[in-house]
Structure 1
Amino acid sequence: MTNAVRERSREILRAQLATAASDFCAEHGFDDVTVDEIAQSIGVSRATFFRYFGSKEDAVVSALRDEHDSLADRVRVQAEPGQVALDAVRRALEPTVATSRANPVRLRGRIAMIVANPSLRARLAVDRADQRATLASALEPFVHDRQTALAVAITASGAIELGWSLWAADPALDLGDAYDTAFRLVDGAAAVRLDITGFDSRDQ
Structure 2
Amino acid sequence: MEDPTRAKTRDIARTAIRAELAQAAIELFRREGFDQVTLNDVAAAAGVSRSTFLRYFGSKEEAVLGAMDDLGAQAAVALCARPYGEGDWTALRRCLDPFIDAYRADPSGSLAITRLIQESPALRNRQLEKQASWLPALTRVLTDRSSRPDPLVAAVRAAAALDCLSIAVTHWSASNGGEDLAALLDQAFSAFATT
TM-score band, normalised by shorter chain: 0.7 to 0.9
> What is the CA–CA distance in structure 1 between the aligned matches of 2:62 and 2:138, rounded to whole Å?
20
Displacement, 1:184?
Answer: 0.8
Deviation at 1:42, TM superposition (A): 5.1
- Per the alignment, residue 198 of structure 1 pairs with none
Deviates more, 1:78-87 or 1:142-151: 142-151
Q: 1:124 aligns with which of 121, 127, 141?
A: 127
Asked if the contact 1:22/1:63 (under 8 Å) is kept, the reply is no
Identity of aligned residues (%): 29
- Could you tell me how far apart the structure 1 residues matched to 2:135 and 2:93 are? 15
Name whichever of 85-94 and 115-124 sits farther off.
Answer: 85-94
Matching of residue 145 in structure 1 with residue 150 in structure 2: yes
Instruction: Give the alignment's TM-score, normalised by structure 2.
Output: 0.77
SS at match of 2:54: helix
Partner residue of 2:181?
175
What displacement does 1:40 show?
5.1
Residue number in structure 2 paired with 1:155: 160
Q: Is the alpha carbon distance of 1:81 and 1:9 closer, same or farther for their aligned partners in structure 2, counting shifts above 3 Å?
A: same
Q: Do residues 186 (structure 1) and 192 (structure 2) align? A: yes
Distance in structure 2 (CA, Å) of the matches to 1:53 and 1:183? 34
What is the aligned counterpart of 1:164 among 165, 169, 173? 169
| Deviation of the 1:26 alpha carbon | 4.7
In 2: Cα distance, 1:43 partner to 1:134 partner: 38
Q: Secondary structure of 1:186's match?
A: coil
What are structure 1's unaligned runs of at least 5 residues? 192-204
8 Å Cα contact 1:57/1:119 also seen in 2: yes
The structure 1 segments of at least 4 consecutive aligned residues displaced by more than 3 Å after TM superposition are: 5-10, 14-19, 39-45
How far 1:150 sits from its partner (Å)?
A: 1.2
List alignment gaps of at least 5 residues for structure 2.
Answer: none
For residues 87 and 157 of structure 1, the distance between their equivalents in structure 2, rounded to whole angstroms, comes to 13
> For structure 1, which segment, 167-176 or 55-64, has the greater mean C-alpha deviation from structure 2 after superposition?
55-64
Letter aligned with residue 137 of structure 1: R
Larger deviation: 79-88 or 118-127?
118-127
Aligned equivalent of 1:38: 42
For normalisation by structure 1, the TM-score amounts to: 0.74
Question: Aligned partners of 1:19 and 1:75: how far apart in 2?
Answer: 29
Distance, in Å, in 1 between the alignment partners of 2:76 and 2:22 is 19
Shift of 1:44: 5.2
CA contact (8 A) 1:75 1:89 kept: yes
- Paired residues in the alignment total 186
- C-alpha RMSD over aligned residues: 3.1
- The 1:69–1:24 alpha-carbon spacing in structure 2 relative to 1, beyond 3 Å, is farther
How has the CA–CA distance of structure 1 residues 186 and 114 changed in structure 2, closer, same or farther, with 3 Å as cutoff? Answer: farther
